[in-house]
Amino acid sequence: MTLPHALGIFGAGIVAGTINTVVGSGTLFTFPVLLAFGYAPVTANVSNTVGLVPGSVAGAIGYREELKGQRRRAIPLATASVLGGLAGAILLLSLPPSAFKAIVPAFIAVALVLIVLQPRLSRALAARGTATAPAGSAPQPRSPAASTVATSAPRRGSCCWPS
């Protein structure tokens, strides 16, 4: 590996870590960079995932105030993440690399669509009153003032963990 190659990957990692901490989806930046440098798709995916872990930990530490009181919401999400990660790892290791190479463009397209739709989905949930309701509870009616606050500019951390 040459110095420019290493610096390019390091720079992509810094950018992706920053993106991941703020809104997620840093993989959409680093994965294509690793492919452009000639890494196989499976190697690029594994390297990318391991490389973004420190940024995720730093983001959780940075958002710890917003995460207070979210245990009831975080446990099911963490469980789904672990199960999805295990299923993905099993599929990644058991399927041929050609299957992964064929599936990745669809995953990237779905991720991009969800990122673009995220503000609209957040507004729709806030309008229904479910964005701040505990899991399994009935939607609470919102006053016009609360609706205005919920649909105004997002607060720090509100993309994933509404306060």
List all residues 6 or more positions away from 76 whose beta carbon is below 8 Å from its beta carbon.
135
Amino acid 60: pLDDT: 82
Is 0.75 topped by the overall pTM? no
Q: What is the pLDDT of residue 143?
A: 40
pLDDT at 83: 96
Cβ atoms 67, 159 nearer than 8 A: no
**What is the chain's pLDDT, residue by residue, as a tens digit (163 residues)?**
889 888 988 888 888 878 877 777 788 888 888 888 888 888 888 888 887 777 778 878 888 898 888 888 889 988 998 999 899 889 888 888 888 878 888 888 888 888 888 889 889 888 887 545 455 444 444 444 443 333 334 444 444 444 4
What pLDDT was estimated at residue 132? Answer: 52
pLDDT at 146: 40
Asked if residues 24 and 160 have their Cβ atoms less than 8 Å apart, the reply is: yes
Please give the pLDDT value at position 118: 85
Could you give the CA distance from residue 66 to residue 148 in angstroms, rounded to a whole number?
A: 20
pLDDT value at residue 130: 56
- Per-residue pLDDT, 86: 92
Q: Under a CB-based contact definition with an 8 Å cutoff, are residues 28 and 111 in contact?
A: yes
Q: How far apart are CA 3 and CA 97, in angstroms?
A: 28
